[in-house]
Amino acid sequence: MTRERPLAVVTGARRGIGAAIAVELAARGFDIALADIEAGGAQDVLSAVQAHRARAMLFPFDLGEVERHEHVLAQMVDWGGPVACLVNNAGIPAAQRGDLLDVGTASYDRVLGVNLRGTFFFTQAVARHMLTSAASHPRTIVTVSSVSAELASVERGEYCLSKAGLGMLTRLFALRLAEAGIGVFELRPGVIRTPMTDGVASQYDERIAAGLVPMRRWGAPEDVARAVAALADGRLAFSTGSVLQVDGALSIPRL
């Protein structure tokens, strides 16, 4: 069967930034394989993707379960064809914010296990697939990390460590895949209004108003989605390994 639309895989796609990315890529001509740890509540994003005449399928799995990666990827490829774009968006926060000296092994292992270990091995699986499959569309890997890859938050140390590791992941895969023409990029969102930030929204409202974000507003999931889409079509492939800040100038050092 001939498939006219390239396939994009978006992890953590059920809501928030991942859902916005899935819808934006569908609008740009991709079919979407959505991956998320839960299926509940996914119908809204599936319907939004399909409204762009894209095919959409949800593949529920826990990114931290590395032993399932190859099986899930095979299901995605069987359903949608070769993967043209992988968006590593899935991630979890620290179990709770608190003193760095109180971080326990359970929270550390879970956050690093999903955000870094899980992302590394799923990217590895997709990269192997890309190198052995026919390509009729530019191929890209985009990892959504965070300004916390560089800006330290001592109350959520394990999260910052996981995001910092994604910066090196991007550089490593960019070097390994450069000869094959596969573009690898990192996006670092700043303060984005999503369900993950609901619990600290009032705190950030005050800090944004006080100048934390020079653009004086929250970021929206659509801000990140548009940046991903700009990379996914392969037009910036010679910039492979690059980092794109999506943070309203939050991360620019100031006096």
Tell me the average pLDDT of the chain: 95
Within a domain: 91: yes
> Residue 125 domain-assigned?
yes
Is 108 inside a domain boundary?
A: yes
What pLDDT is attached to residue 155? 94
Whether residue 246 is predicted with pLDDT greater than 60 in this model: the reply is yes
Q: Is 80 exceeded by the pLDDT of residue 14?
A: yes
Confidence of residue 1 (pLDDT cuts 50, 70, 90): very low
Please tell me the distance from the alpha carbon of residue 160 to that of residue 236, in angstroms, as a whole number: 27
Is 81 a domain residue?
yes
Q: Are 59 and 72 in contact (CB under 8 A)?
A: yes
Read off the pLDDT of residues 196-218 as tens digits, 9 standing for 90 and up: 788 888 889 999 999 999 999 99
In a domain, 250, yes or no: no
Has residue 207 been placed in a domain? Answer: yes
User: Annotated catalytic sites, by residue?
Assistant: 159
> What count of other Cβ atoms lies within 10 Å of the Cβ of residue 186?
26
Q: How far apart are CA 205 and CA 24, in angstroms?
A: 27
- AA letter at 249: A
Length of the chain in terms of residues written? 255
Q: How confident is the model at residue 130 (pLDDT cuts 50, 70, 90)?
A: very high
Per-residue pLDDT tens digits for 35-76: 999 998 899 999 999 999 999 999 999 999 999 999 999 999
pLDDT at 247: 97
**What is the reported pLDDT for 3?**
64
Residue in this structure with the two tokens 């995001």, named with its chain if needed: 163
Name the one residue in this structure whose structure tokens are 């319907």: 47
Q: What is the pLDDT of residue 35?
A: 97
Residue 214, in any domain of the structure? yes
Measured CA to CA, the distance from residue 233 to residue 84 in angstroms comes to 9
- Distance from C-alpha of 161 to C-alpha of 148, rounded to nearest angstrom: 8
Which residue range forms the structural domain that includes residue 41?
7-244
Q: Percent of the chain beyond pLDDT 70?
A: 99
Tens of pLDDT, residues 92-106: 999 888 999 999 999
Spatial separation of the C-alpha atoms in residues 209 and 217, rounded to whole Å? 8
Instruction: CATH number of the domain at 168, please.
Output: 3.40.50.720
Domain count, the chain: 1
Residue 201: predicted pLDDT: 87
Q: pLDDT digit string (tens) for 137-166?
A: 999 999 999 999 999 999 999 999 999 999
Q: pTM for the full model?
A: 0.95
* Residue-level pLDDT at 2: 47
Whole-angstrom distance, CA of residue 171 vs CA of residue 248: 24
Give the other-Cβ count within 10 Å of 43's Cβ: 11
Bigger pLDDT: 164 or 254? 164
Q: In the structure encoding, which two tokens stand for residue 82, read together?
A: 């070769």
Q: What are the beta bridge partners of residue 33?
A: 9, 57
Q: Is residue 64 part of a domain?
A: yes
Q: Given this model, what pLDDT does residue 198 score?
A: 80
